[in-house]
Chains A and B, each alone.
Chain A
Amino acid sequence: MIQPADPSVVRVLAADGTIAPTPAAERYLSAIDALTDQQLEDFYRDMVVIRGFDRQATNLQRQGQLALWPPSFGQEAAQVGSARAARPQDHIFPSYREHVVARIRGVDPIGIIGLMRGMTHGGWNPNDPANGNTHIYTLVLGSQTLHATGLGMGLVFDGRCGTGDPDRDEAVIVYYGDGASSQGDVHEAMVFAASFRTPEVFFLQNNQWAISVPVATQSPAPLVKRGEGYGMPSIQIDGNDVLASYAVTRAALDEARAGEGPRAIEAVTYRMGAHTTSDDPTKYRTSAEEESWALRDPILRMRAFLEGKGASAAFFDDVDAEARAVADDIRERTVALGSIPVGTMFDHVYSEPHPLIAEQKAWLAEYEASFGEGA
């Protein structure tokens, strides 16, 4: 838990929405000052709209429309700030709770819904320009950190970073959590990233809980210290402060893109909801803890800040209306999702023709046809 006086943590907005930068935040203040009112309002809009979507998806699971839902509830600031910090040419590797990131990059959230409904193992095409170079979710914890690092190695080998042209140079940001930080793949990814100086930001959302296991079981030392051990500049931020998340990620991505090697960020945040809809947090954490974090809700903090700056009531009403509209839309589209054709399970097992798969697909079609019309 972040102590209010900890000078090494980057925080700009206090929990009451007032500007109260920590000493570590000083170097980022000019970037925050440069943000327009429109950008600040967009940060808030992103957080509120996706929270509305996230709540709707949770409800859809409760109503039997989805097999599972992993809520992003509480982690909006960490995700909005970091996603808004990335440039269009950057590459995004999410874990499986980055609904906010995915939507900001252009992914239609119905893809995530399809994944959680049992329609697909993916949900969108990362090579489609509409999806902002956002890779699909990875469900095995930490695996994607190696894929991100490998892609970063490719950017190095192809001279797609470090040219000094910020409009052309590319970087990678990979998301993972406090639980995944214990996985060996995360270690190996950081070893390779440091060794090959990949243009990469390791963005750790420490939401305090790996399902039921507290972060102290993953590490008695602050996780931010891990990155330093690999030779990566590493910064801990208040992950519920969207301004800190934006400014620190922007600087880290700029440095990575410019060829200065990988960076690590630990965003200290809180999973305000359950791990997934199959989880029951009352079995392992107290309501007092949840209430203490509710006071640091990233949306309340940003709203207080914007109100202090004089944002209009009409603006907040408009955001709320958009959140309702997005939630209504996703409900309509979810219940309208049909089934998937049986034969598709054989498609794309391989890129090139494969006799066994072709034989089994043909057999199944014949078997199904053998029952005749209306069977």
Chain B
Amino acid sequence: MTISTTAAIDETEAAPAIQTMPLSKALNAGLRRALAESDRVLLMGEDIGPLGGVFRITEGLQAEFGPNRVIDTPLAESGIVGTAIGLAMAGFRPVCEIQFDGFVFPAFDQITTQLAKITNRHEGALSMPVVIRIPYGGHIGAIEHHQESPEAYFTHTPGLRVVAPSTPNDAYWMIQEAIASDDPVIFLEPKSKYWQKGEVDLTAPALPLHASRIVRRGTDVTLVGHGAMVTTLLQAAVLAESEGVSVEVVDVRSLSPIDYGPILDSVRRTGRMVYAQEAPGFTSVGSEVAATVMEKAFYALEAPVLRVSGFDTPFPPAKLEGVFLPDPDRILEAVDRALAY
């Protein structure tokens, strides 16, 4: 399935091609466009109908497309993903909403032992174009199970693709690209950035789904991350600049597969790299990127690749989230260590 850009051009006859909107509205617009372009696309999840989801990402979509396209399901995550698999077998392209990161685990078996492996089990005779949307990450002061970063569970599972947009423009395009993918995609939404505004170019996607991107140029050290952390990396870069350190920032965007081209290109120029993530660091995406960069750019490195992560504890009560989650100061502390070599 390919993404058509004609609908956007039609839409924008009355509206500008570039619009400023929060990430949540960009997702809503992307989902609306996917629903409009193919009647095989379905949204399914808990409270996504009249309520529009607890984060209102699907607001207005059931009224527009009907209850058989935007489906309020029973409250059962394994049921949502398991029936999405059956719907994909019937030729649909289901997009499942998991209400919060910590609620994905009742569906973990269907995602990892079924969804991820069905194409392989059928030797390619069946594809599984299913998207699992998961609002993930901290910074919202919520109770347990509502602030987690479970990406490593899914990147460790062959057969899944895992992506995380960081901007409204990426959210708008990546959700459509994920729906167009014939493989299952875990779509991690940085929920702390749902209300962050940015420009969305409605005419054409800037990048393919699985491309990483250099989002700030610098010469001394490369900061790499994904999702909400990209904003924090950019803040750290501005602070570093005031201290005379030139920082380059790479938004990974796709956690599986990882597009190493821009990352290695950057590290070969700066010689130093720090990966930052909200997830616990042990066996994490940051660990994987660090190991690969050391294998592929060893002679370019002036310092070991460093990681700044959530601690290897359960996500703490919200009053401590500011300590648990890497902030610009912790990232700059790692930058200082990298520069000390």
The interface of chain A, by Cβ under 8 A from chain B, is 120-122, 125-128, 135-136, 138, 140, 143, 145-155, 157-158, 184-185, 188-189, 191-192, 195, 347-352, 354-357
Q: In the bound complex, what is the Cα–Cα distance between A188 and B79 (angstroms)?
A: 5
Choose among B78, B86, B122, B259 the residue that contacts A188 (Cβ–Cβ < 8 A): B78
Chain B residue, CB-CB nearest to A146 = B82
15 residue pairs A–B, Cβ–Cβ below 8 Å: A122-B121, A140-B114, A143-B113, A146-B78, A147-B83, A151-B86, A153-B87, A158-B91, A184-B106, A188-B79, A192-B73, A348-B123, A350-B161, A350-B183, A355-B259
Task: Please give, as numbers and ranges, the residues of chain B lying within 8 Å of A184 by CB-CB distance.
Answer: 78, 106
Is the pair A153, B124 in contact by a Cβ cutoff of 8 Å?
Answer: no
Is the pair B122, A122 in contact by a Cβ cutoff of 8 Å?
Answer: yes
B44 to chain A, nearest CB (A): 9
Is the pair B87, A348 in contact by a Cβ cutoff of 8 Å?
Answer: no
The interface of chain B, by Cβ under 8 A from chain A, is 42, 68, 73-74, 76, 78-79, 81-92, 106, 109-110, 113-114, 117, 119-128, 158-159, 161, 181-183, 257-259
Task: Please give, as numbers and ranges, the residues of chain A lying within 8 Å of B78 by CB-CB distance.
Answer: 146, 184-185, 188
Listed from nearest, the 4 A-B pairs whose CB atoms lie closest are A150-B86, A146-B82, A154-B90, A150-B83
Is the pair A121, B120 in contact by a Cβ cutoff of 8 Å?
Answer: yes
Is the pair B182, A147 in contact by a Cβ cutoff of 8 Å?
Answer: no
B309 to chain A, nearest CB (A): 22
Q: In the bound complex, what is the Cα–Cα distance between A155 and B126 (angstroms)?
A: 18
Choose among B83, B109, B128 the residue that contacts A149 (Cβ–Cβ < 8 A): B83
Q: In the bound complex, what is the Cα–Cα distance between A350 and B122 (angstroms)?
A: 11
Is the pair A154, B92 in contact by a Cβ cutoff of 8 Å?
Answer: yes
Chain A interface, DSSP helix/strand/loop, else mixed = helix
Q: In the bound complex, what is the Cα–Cα distance between A127 and B126 (angstroms)?
A: 8
Q: In the bound complex, what is the Cα–Cα distance between A148 and B180 (angstroms)?
A: 24
Is the pair A192, B89 in contact by a Cβ cutoff of 8 Å?
Answer: no
Number of A-B contacts (CB under 8 A): 134
Is the pair A147, B114 in contact by a Cβ cutoff of 8 Å?
Answer: yes
A90 to chain B, nearest CB (A): 13
Is the pair B113, A140 in contact by a Cβ cutoff of 8 Å?
Answer: yes
Is the pair B90, A158 in contact by a Cβ cutoff of 8 Å?
Answer: yes
Is the pair B182, A352 in contact by a Cβ cutoff of 8 Å?
Answer: yes
Is the pair A121, B161 in contact by a Cβ cutoff of 8 Å?
Answer: no
Chain A residue, CB-CB nearest to B158 = A349
Q: In the bound complex, what is the Cα–Cα distance between A126 and B92 (angstroms)?
A: 16
Task: Please give, as numbers and ranges, the residues of chain A lying within 8 Å of B159 by CB-CB distance.
Answer: 349-350
Chain A residue, CB-CB nearest to B161 = A350
Choose among B68, B79, B109 the residue that contacts A192 (Cβ–Cβ < 8 A): B79
Q: In the bound complex, what is the Cα–Cα distance between A352 and B78 (angstroms)?
A: 25
Choose among A147, A185, A348 the residue that contacts B89 (Cβ–Cβ < 8 A): A147
Is the pair A126, B110 in contact by a Cβ cutoff of 8 Å?
Answer: no
Choose among B106, B122, B183 the residue that contacts A136 (Cβ–Cβ < 8 A): B122
A223 to chain B, nearest CB (A): 20
Is the pair A147, B82 in contact by a Cβ cutoff of 8 Å?
Answer: yes
Q: In the bound complex, what is the Cα–Cα distance between A1 and B335 (angstroms)?
A: 72
Chain B residue, CB-CB nearest to A115 = B121
A78 to chain B, nearest CB (A): 23
Q: In the bound complex, what is the Cα–Cα distance between A274 and B85 (angstroms)?
A: 32
Q: In the bound complex, what is the Cα–Cα distance between A195 and B120 (angstroms)?
A: 31
Is the pair B76, A188 in contact by a Cβ cutoff of 8 Å?
Answer: yes
B66 to chain A, nearest CB (A): 10
Q: In the bound complex, what is the Cα–Cα distance between A145 and B78 (angstroms)?
A: 11
Task: Please give, as numbers and ranges, the residues of chain A lying within 8 Å of B114 by CB-CB distance.
Answer: 138, 140, 143, 147
Is the pair B86, A146 in contact by a Cβ cutoff of 8 Å?
Answer: yes
Is the pair A120, B119 in contact by a Cβ cutoff of 8 Å?
Answer: no
Task: Please give, as numbers and ranges, the residues of chain A lying within 8 Å of B125 by CB-CB distance.
Answer: 122, 125-128
Q: In the bound complex, what is the Cα–Cα distance between A275 and B143 (angstroms)?
A: 45
Q: In the bound complex, what is the Cα–Cα distance between A155 and B183 (angstroms)?
A: 22
Task: Please give, as numbers and ranges, the residues of chain B lying within 8 Å of A149 by CB-CB distance.
Answer: 79, 82-83, 86
Is the pair A121, B117 in contact by a Cβ cutoff of 8 Å?
Answer: yes
Q: In the bound complex, what is the Cα–Cα distance between A215 and B73 (angstroms)?
A: 31
Is the pair B120, A348 in contact by a Cβ cutoff of 8 Å?
Answer: yes
Q: In the bound complex, what is the Cα–Cα distance between A160 and B108 (angstroms)?
A: 31
